[in-house]
Every structure is written in structure tokens, then in C-alpha cells.
Amino acid sequence: MMDKLILGRFIPGDSVIHRLDPRAKLIATFYFIMIIFLANNAITYGILTIFTLLAIFLSGLSFSFFLKGVRPMLFLILFTVLLQIFFTTGGKELFAIGPLKITEFGLVNAGFIFMRFVLIIFISTLMTLSTTPLSLSDALESILSPLNAIKFPVHEISLMLSIALRFVPTLMDETEKIMNAQRARGVDFSEGSLIQKMKAVVPLLIPLFVSSFKRAEDLSDAMEARGYQGGEGRTRYRKLDWAKRDSISIGAMALLTLFLFLFRR
Amino acid sequence: MTPIIELKNIFYEYVGEENTLALNDLSYQIFEGEWVAIIGHNGSGKSTQAKIINGLLEAKSGEVFIEGERLSVENVWDLRAKVGMVFQNPDNQFVGSTVEDDVAFGLENHGIPREEMLIRVENALREVRMEEFKTKEPARLSGGQKQRVAIAGIVALSPSIIILDEATSMLDPEGRNEVISTIQKIKREKNLTVLSITHDIDEAANADRILVMKQGRLVDEGTPEQIFSKGEQLVELGLELPFAERLKLALKQRGVPVPSEYMSEERLVEFWISNLKK
């Protein structure tokens, strides 16, 4: 179940992309997703594709991870592409079945939409595969810190996030143990109708909730016992270092934007 | 000499459980450099009183003094910094995502500058022999190792008192020995006061003094020798006997004459050898 989910997983490595500052990666990823909408012809899409492939190559990660990243979205992609093919009008009419017409524009548009999807998934998969969840939450705190001015609880949110991330493996282990314990008492998690399956989840969820609350209580005691009083007056152990390569990566994004403006129709 | 911890007439009841006192007129004193074990059956108020000492719970009435200062709402954070606490469940007290983050958590809370933090984290991890695990995540550590990280988190803050709230009860025998010997070493080096709350009678046998609790009261107090020589009385309190005492009891039942005073395992062996020579 957990193996299929490639999004949100981290593959350790020591490439240029891995060593980039997480803030740079986060900003670049979001920026890339925004400027992808600037592309509107074959040349601009070509530039974006080359850029993405180059980034993947630099990360040293196997391409199969990225294909796996696309898989869960496949249905959505195909659905959108089909809609585009059949319901975009204009250009030369190529083919018609009753009211459904396939036009030149439709095919071109569908191709662009397809590329757009795949590129967005590739680039965001690249970010999560090459960055530890912890440094992502650090990056988020750092990027959001200007929001402190409008009394947005940045420290609390980032603490919540890092505790949540720290407990993911613990809770996964726990889920496994409870499932096994319930199986030993005869609960069947995979058989039966949908309703039966849903009912079988109850003896898994209730203990999991109870133990999560118990854990939260223990953790808050342990935090208080070690002097936690909230964000004020706290120093930070983890430090993010903005190096030259990070500025270069942002520069690459600017260059990309320039190219897109030059070659778009 | 002023005691480092003093409890005076502590009463406590849990919300929703009126008329059943979790702690009933509890008073005791602990002196600097002592290792004191608190034993008692489940629900005797052992853990509750530990939380009262560092202000996690507020007593209904009574006073707590730490290093001669009375614990109150104003100074709870200052006094809490003098008391380090290791809790029972190694998983639930691990705050950081990696070992070094967890050790640094307390330092971050106290606003220690980063350069000093790096040194202190390094030293604290060396102290508990966990420096090679510095960048590991908690999921990859054994229970005993997690507890040693928790101890490092406390050592980094250099408190004067360490409370072990059943810190070894969820560990296997090996992890238990690791944790106990780590604490013994640190106590020796830093002249700490250790208050250990335990079910494990062999752990209590290491203490300088044992306090026995029953239903929120202190029912007995003395050196391990004094306490364990009470033999069957302890069994009535729902406590186990240390191994040497159980052996003596079993020998007695088989008609072998044994001395009535408490003996550690070493002394029992000595006694046996000298008996055989006769």
C-alpha cells in the first residue's frame, strides 16, 4: 500500500539537486508550475521539457521513479486529454463520429495539456524525492516567516508539521501492529463487500485514535518538561545555508521565463 | 543541610475522581547527590508525585521546594530547568526528527545560541555513547537507544536533578542495563541527584535510599538493606522481591538455614562459600 505512493517520499542521494537549499527548491518548483502556463506553442513546451529532463538528469535519480509518480494521476490525465480532443473546435476537421469531432486544434491542445500535466508532476516529484520532509518544513517556516507580521502562527505551524512528519513512521508501525493484532482475532481487512470492508476498519481506527491522543499527551508533557514555552525566545539548531548554487538555480528559472516570453506566440 | 527536593504535605486528586486522593499527605526530603528509588504498586501515586515535582501537575494543597525555593506559578520554568525528566515511553517523548534535533530541542527552548548548541549536543551525545547515531531518525533506534537520547537531551541542559519516571519499564533487559549504567556514569561525573520511580526491584537495589508508596502515602523508607529485609511484608504491598531475597525464601522453604538480614548477590555468594568451608 505504502510502496505505490511515490509522492512525498524521499530517496537519499548526493547530487547537485539534493544539495540545493530546500527554500530554493520550494520556490523554484512553485515558480515552475506558474510559468508553465506561459507556454503556448511547440517551442516553449520543448524548452520546458528540456529543462525538466535536465533537472531530472542532474538529480541522478532513476527515471522510473518519475513514471511511478505519474501513475496515480493517469486517470485524470487521460480524462482531461480526451475531453480536450473531442470538445475543442476550430482548425481543420479531421474526423467525425456523430456529434463528436476531432479537430486539429483539439489534438494540439490535448498534446499541450498532456505535457503540462506530466511536467508539473515530474518537477514536483523531483522536489519531494530529493528533499527530506524535515528540510521541507524548515524551508516552509523560513519562507512563511514574513507572515509573522500579520500574526500568522508560523512557528506553531512549522512545529506541527515537523512533529507530524516525525510521527508518520511511528504511526505506520502502530497501524501495522494493530492490524496484525486484529487479524489474530479474526478480523479480515481485504475480503467482503464494500460495507463489510468499511466495518472492518473500525477495529483499526478506534485504537489508532486512542493511542494517538495518548501519544500527544505524553509528548506535550515531555516538551513542557524540557522547557518548551512557544516560539518566543527560541533559538534554532537547524540552519539553512543559501549558497551560490541556489542563486544559480533561481537565475535559471529567470532565464527560463525570459525564453518563454521570447518564443511564445 | 537543605534538601534539594522537599515535599510538604502534598494532597492531590485527579479531576473527576473526587474523594479518592492520588496523593495523601505526602512528605519527604531528598538530599544532594542521593540516588533515591520510589517503589509502589500500580496506582500508588508514584508518577503523579514526579509530575508535581517539576510542576507538570499542580497539587491540591501542600508545598514543593526545589533547592530551597518554593515551586509556584512564577518560578515554575526556572525550577523546571533544574529538573530533567525521562519518561516511560521512549517513542512518545522523542520530539525531534533526528537524534541531534531531539537533543537540541531543550537548548532551543532556552534560547542557547547556535554555536554553543552544536558543542553541547556533541558533548551530550558522547556522554551517552550515541554520537555515531547523530543523524538517525527515531524509527531506526532501539528502545534503549531512544532512552539514552532522552538522557542526552537532559544532560545537554545540565540540570541538578534527574527524575526517571519508569524510564526502563518498556525496555528489554539489555536496554535496561544500558540505560541504568549510563545514568550511573553521568550521576558520578556530574554529581547529580537521581530520583528513580520504578517497578524493577533490581534497579531499586542500586539506590542509596528507597521510599515505599501505597495508595498515595509514604509507608516505608530506608536503605535497600532495611527495606528488602522486610521480605514478606513487601509481597503484601504487591511488590516483588529482589533475586537474592527470592532465593533465600526458596532455600528457607526447603529447610536450609539462611540469615534473616538482606544480602546482595555478592554477599550471598560470600556467605555461601564461607558456610561450605566449615
pLDDT digits (tens, 9 = 90+) for B227-273: 887 777 777 776 777 888 888 888 888 988 777 777 777 878 888 88
Identify all chain B residues contacting A236, using CB atoms and an 8 Å cutoff.
Answer: 108, 114
Question: How far away is chain B from the Cα of A231, in angstroms, using its nearest Cα?
Answer: 8
pLDDT at B210 over 80: yes
At a CB cut-off of 8 Å and minimum separation 6, what does B31 contact? B1, B3, B4, B193
On whether residue B11 sits in a domain, the answer given is: yes
The C-alpha cell that represents B164 in the structure block: 526517571
Q: Which residue does chain B place closest to A229, by CA atoms? A: B109
The DSSP code for A170 is H
Of A162, A218, A233, the CB nearest to B92: A218
Question: How far away is chain A from the Cα of B45, in angstroms, using its nearest Cα?
Answer: 17
Of B89, B98, B101, the CB nearest to A218: B89
Is-contact B48 B72, C-beta < 8 A? no
Q: Which residue does chain B place closest to A132, by CA atoms? A: B97
- Per domain, the residue ranges of chain A are 2-131+239-263
pLDDT at A3: 47
Query: Taking residues B121-147, what's their average pLDDT?
Result: 91
pLDDT at A54: 92
pLDDT at B84: 93
Give the tens place of pLDDT for each residue, A150-175.
988 888 888 888 888 888 888 888 99
At a CB cut-off of 8 Å and minimum separation 6, what does B224 contact? B37, B204, B205, B206, B207, B210, B242, B262
Distance of CA A142 to the CA centre of its chain: 19
User: Which residue is associated with the grid cell 518560578?
Assistant: B75
pLDDT band at A8 (very low <50, low <70, confident <90, very high): low
Question: How far away is chain A from the Cα of B203, in angstroms, using its nearest Cα?
Answer: 23
pLDDT at A252 over 80: yes
R_g of chain B computed on alpha carbons: 20
Is-contact B155 B189, C-beta < 8 A? no
Q: Which residue does chain A place closest to B81, by CA atoms? A: A227
8 Å CB contact of B97 and A214: no
pLDDT at B30: 92
pLDDT at A48: 93
- Mutate which of B88, B101, B108 to disrupt the A interface (most A C-beta within 10 Å)? B108
Give the tens place of pLDDT for each residue, A53-64.
999 998 888 888
Chain A and chain B share a number of CB contacts under 8 A equal to: 96
On whether residue B35 sits in a domain, the answer given is: yes
8 Å CB contact of A225 and B56: yes
Other CB atoms closer than 10 Å to residue B132's CB: what's the count? 9
- Total domain count, chain B: 1
8 Å CB contact of B111 and A235: yes
Query: Taking residues A87-114, what's their average pLDDT?
Result: 79
Identify all chain B residues contacting A239, using CB atoms and an 8 Å cutoff.
Answer: 114
- Mutate which of A234, A235, A236, A240 to disrupt the B interface (most B C-beta within 10 Å)? A235
pLDDT at B74: 87
pLDDT at A2: 46
Of A134, A218, A227, the CB nearest to B77: A227
Which has more pLDDT, B248 or A98?
B248
pLDDT band at A1 (very low <50, low <70, confident <90, very high): very low
8 Å CB contact of B91 and A170: yes
At a CB cut-off of 8 Å and minimum separation 6, what does A189 contact? A179, A182, A183, A197, A200, A201, A204
Q: What percentage of chain A exceeds 70 in pLDDT?
A: 95
Burial zone of A226 (CB within 10 Å; 0-12 exposed, 13-18 middle, 19+ buried): buried
Other CB atoms closer than 10 Å to residue A5's CB: what's the count? 11
Indicate the average pLDDT of chain A. 86
pLDDT band at A4 (very low <50, low <70, confident <90, very high): very low
Q: Which residue does chain B place closest to A212, by CA atoms? A: B92
On whether residue B267 sits in a domain, the answer given is: no
Identify all chain A residues contacting B106, using CB atoms and an 8 Å cutoff.
Answer: 226-227
Give the tens place of pLDDT for each residue, B137-170.
888 899 999 999 999 999 999 999 999 999 988 8
User: Which residue is associated with the grid cell 524548515?
Assistant: A138
Query: Taking residues A103-113, what's their average pLDDT?
Result: 87
What distance in Å separates the CA atoms of residue B167 and residue B177, rounded to the nearest whole number? 12
Is-contact B160 B82, C-beta < 8 A? yes
Which has more pLDDT, B94 or B225?
B94
pLDDT band at B278 (very low <50, low <70, confident <90, very high): low
Nearest CA to B94 out of A41, A58, A219 is that of A219
HEC assignment per residue over chain B: CCCCEEEEEEEECCCCCCCCCCEEEEEEEECCCCEEEEEECCCCCHHHHHHHHCCCCCCCEEEEEECCEECCCCCHHHHHCCEEEECCCCCCCCCCCCHHHHHHHHHHHCCCCHHHHHHHHHHHHHHCCCHHHCCCCHHHCCHHHHHHHHHHHHHCCCCCEEEEECCCCCCCHHHHHHHHHHHHHHHHHHCCEEEEECCCHHHHCCCCEEEEEECCEEEEEECHHHHHCCCHHHHHCCCCCCHHHHHHHHHHHCCCCCCCCCCCHHHHHHHHHHHHHC
pLDDT at B23: 87
ipTM of the complex: 0.86
pLDDT at A9: 66
- Mutate which of A226, A228, A229, A235 to disrupt the B interface (most B C-beta within 10 Å)? A226
What distance in Å separates the CA atoms of residue B85 and residue B87, rounded to the nearest whole number? 6
Identify all chain A residues contacting B83, using CB atoms and an 8 Å cutoff.
Answer: 225
The C-alpha cell that represents B131 in the structure block: 554520537
Identify all chain A residues contacting B117, using CB atoms and an 8 Å cutoff.
Answer: 235, 237
8 Å CB contact of A237 and B104: yes
- HSE of B37 in the Cβ direction (CA atoms, 13 Å)? 24
pLDDT at B7 over 60: yes
pLDDT at B185: 92
Q: Which residue does chain A place closest to B106, by CA atoms? A: A226
Identify all chain B residues contacting A215, using CB atoms and an 8 Å cutoff.
Answer: 89, 91-92
pLDDT at A51 over 60: yes
Give the tens place of pLDDT for each residue, B37-55.
998 888 888 888 899 998 8
8 Å CB contact of B154 and A226: yes
On whether residue B271 sits in a domain, the answer given is: no
Give the tens place of pLDDT for each residue, A199-247.
888 989 999 999 999 999 999 999 999 989 887 788 888 888 888 889 9
pLDDT at B187: 92
Host domain of residue B12? 3-241
Of B95, B104, B110, the CB nearest to A222: B95
- Mutate which of A237, A238, A239, A241 to disrupt the B interface (most B C-beta within 10 Å)? A237
pLDDT at A78: 92
User: What CATH number does residue B51 fall under?
Assistant: 3.40.50.300
Which of A68-72, A122-126, B129-133 bottoms out in mean pLDDT, i.e. has the lowest? A68-72
